[in-house]
Chains A and B, each alone.
Chain A
């Protein structure tokens, strides 16, 4: 009886992983079809004509900053040379204790000014507002510490344009990223309330004068693993979700939103560890429950490069924070899970998040004990066990290779050497890296103290990241 129970629990655990990997492979196939269309438009569609167009809608770039003195100036410079006809930059200094504010004031010749600040979304107290007579309008909102979401809300309050790009202080935008993101707005201004961009790890790449000049695969294994993860997420999953009108997450690093829609749902939820996921899901819920036609889309050619953790210590902190954010959102939006009223969002993507993101670490963790025990007590057939494990591993590898193929038209890692390094990484990531992330996520479920607030990693500054290759 016990043997029989062990047998079936063991098989169920492995079958769960086979199903999960096949689900991801299926998403990659759908993403492939979805990417074909956007790729053709990007390559031949002359999206950049929007640059000279006087009809392109203006946008406010919101940068929340907390203790970013080391890289804030480079980041703002990078943002200010982005190609777009009309935009402003709003930096929300969230009570930094370092020289973030001082560096901004000195570098951009800012002055303490009085402008009408209307707190449409309640935030921590705004202490002062700074502005300068630069080629690009730069406004700095100096406020008391309230967390990333709170800083974003302050920036959204101060934004003057109808669209906002919510991003981070440690990123570099591709020169045409904004125009490619905004193209999706222009294409359907009535319905499009949000556009998510494609995030890529910046580590190992060269940045000069705020521009990425050479994209390379990072030298450090921990960063290289993340390259593969980001490719899988942004090229093998999100295009499929977007095509199904069921994108559950517009990443916090690159999210273009219609300002009025963000105000309508009360902005980002302060103190939430997954504020981007929460905002996207609330946006879906608000529009669907009020029967307002809308769409939230993903644009793979709008590329933003971000500094990713290059040590296991910092990565651990980040992943614990992410998983706790996910857990909160799963709880908050539980009624949407497997709910046909929300269409593909409830039945496919959010259900997928619940089954394969939220439950995965617990099931995998249990599987680590049950499967070997069942095997040693003779409850599992050796050949069946080996074949199922191979299938799970093979399907995972297939997903990684598919994402490398999907990345091919964008031409960032064009040399066979970089490709070979990533393929090797796809082979070895299941031998340790994956297991470590499971432990971290388990820790997020049962502990996770000390991960609140900004959860900052040690910054090296976007201009200093090439040195690890």
Chain B
């Protein structure tokens, strides 16, 4: 074939391809729009039929068994499921059972191919959260597709299937960060029931790895179970990875555990500024008045983050505000601004302005207003 012939054929192919792409795109858009309208119409029809049936269970549904294959039917079921309770919920469960909806999705989830079909099945099972399908979802926790695993955990969480907790926690070490984050959400949904499996996981693993235990420690903080405070203090004492120490300190703060105060005060003397800054923040979250003096020292720390966190912490603790007023006349401009910010966040500026308006301003009020708003207020 000569060069010119090759060029001719190439041009012909390119233009044919262009024509084909343009034509199919327009046709596809038209079909897609039609399909979308059809889906919306069917979904509304299913919602109407289901609502009537739930209001009067004697009324026949008059639907073909094939509706179970229809995504619009499933979406209508999910929509309606979130808004019914009691007898209506039982009647809906009967409909789901009689049309074999969950059987179909459980079968699809078990198939090895067609990623989207399996993912849709996992979403459906998670949304409906029918505890008779817990076994299928437990198995799906080992699925090779991360999104399927996430949906399986979500479904098990929604049905409060406590045997799943251990399995989900066990997978923390081998999961990707994305899956781990979603697993954390599920465990948070389990509440206090997840506390001890997570504590056990952290205590066993924190010396050998950081990613899984870090996520577990943060999950414990969000669950907020006070029972986790003592084991977390023990972890803090034993941990030698900064990646473990920092979230543990944060969690102790979130838990508001007074038991941790002496340990956190000791950490305010740590060599690493990140530990000192985190400890200051946690002391503020715990709001224990005994920490006020140590936090006041934090205002003179050599690191600006520690000074800022100490000021913010003092703003949260009764008695701390007094020290912040003292700090706004500090020679260190950064500590002064940090104290002013903390006072502003604590609502002191509004209170000070009110007192000025009422003619009851104190010297502290005037100093704060002058500093923060740079307004000249004449003491009268």
Contacts and interface: CB of A to CB of B under 8 A. Distances in A.
A404 B23 CA distance: 12
A423 interface: yes
Q: Which of A116, A188, A390, A402 has the most CB of B within 10 A?
A: A116
Given A118-B304, A186-B178, A383 B371 contact: no
Nearest to A191: B177
Contact of A115 (B22, B116, B337): B337
A49 B25 contact: no
B21 A401 contact: yes
Interface in A181-207: 183, 186-190
Interface in A71-130: 111-118
B265 interface: no
Interface stretch (B7-15, B62-70, B134-142): B7-15
Interface string B300-334: 00001001100000000000000000000000001
Nearest to B328: A114
B341 A115 contact: yes
Contacts of A112: 372-374
A398 B372 contact: no
B185 A53 contact: yes
A273 interface: no
B33 A401 contact: no
B154 A46 contact: yes
B373 A189 contact: no
A53 B181 contact: yes
Contact of B123 (A44, A189, A397): A44
B316 to A, nearest CB: 16
- Interface-central residue, B21, B22, B28, B150, by most chain A CB under 10 Å: B22
Secondary structure class of chain B's binding surface, majority of residues: helix
Given A49-B182, A114-B371, A44 B116 contact: yes
B222 A54 contact: yes
A267 B30 CA distance: 47
Contact of B304 (A49, A116, A419): A116
Given A52-B185, A54-B188, A44 B119 contact: yes
A139 to B, nearest CB: 11
B340 interface: yes
A398 B14 contact: yes
B22 A401 contact: yes
Contacts of B344: 113-115, 131
A44 B177 contact: no
A149 to B, nearest CB: 24
Interface residues of A, number: 51
Contacts of A414: 29, 32-33, 36
Q: On chain B, which size bracket covers the interface?
A: 35 or more
A2 interface: no
Nearest to A409: B32
B245 interface: no
A391 B7 contact: yes
Contacts of A116: 304, 307-308, 334, 337-338, 341
Contacts of A131: 344
A415 interface: yes
Contact of B176 (A50, A183, A187): A187
Interface in B349-380: 349-350, 371-374
A397 B20 CA distance: 12
Interface in A39-53: 40-41, 44-46, 49-50, 52-53
A432 interface: no
A405 interface: yes
Nearest to A386: B11
B87 interface: no
A133 B353 CA distance: 15
Contacts of A134: none
A45 B126 CA distance: 12
A290 interface: no
B18 to A, nearest CB: 5
A388 B29 CA distance: 32
A45 B116 CA distance: 10
B25 A401 contact: yes
A394 interface: yes
A289 interface: no
A55 B21 contact: no
A423 B27 CA distance: 13
Nearest to A160: B308
A420 B181 contact: no
Contact of B215 (A45, A50, A55): A55
B177 A190 contact: yes
A394 B29 contact: no
Interface string A168-188: 000000000000000100111
A404 B25 contact: yes
Contacts of A423: 22, 25-26
A416 interface: yes
Interface of A: 40-41, 44-46, 49-50, 52-56, 111-118, 131, 133, 183, 186-190, 381, 383-384, 387-388, 390-391, 394-395, 397-398, 401-402, 404-405, 408, 411, 414-416, 419-420, 423
The 6 A-B pairs at the shortest CB distance, nearest first, are namely: A394-B14, A187-B178, A114-B340, A401-B21, A116-B337, A115-B341
25 contacts: A44-B116, A45-B150, A49-B154, A56-B181, A111-B372, A113-B341, A113-B344, A114-B340, A114-B372, A115-B337, A115-B344, A116-B337, A188-B177, A189-B177, A381-B4, A384-B7, A387-B4, A391-B7, A408-B28, A408-B32, A411-B32, A414-B33, A416-B29, A419-B25, A423-B26
Given A113-B341, A118-B334, A187-B178, 5 more contacts: A113-B349, A116-B337, A190-B177, A398-B14, A416-B33
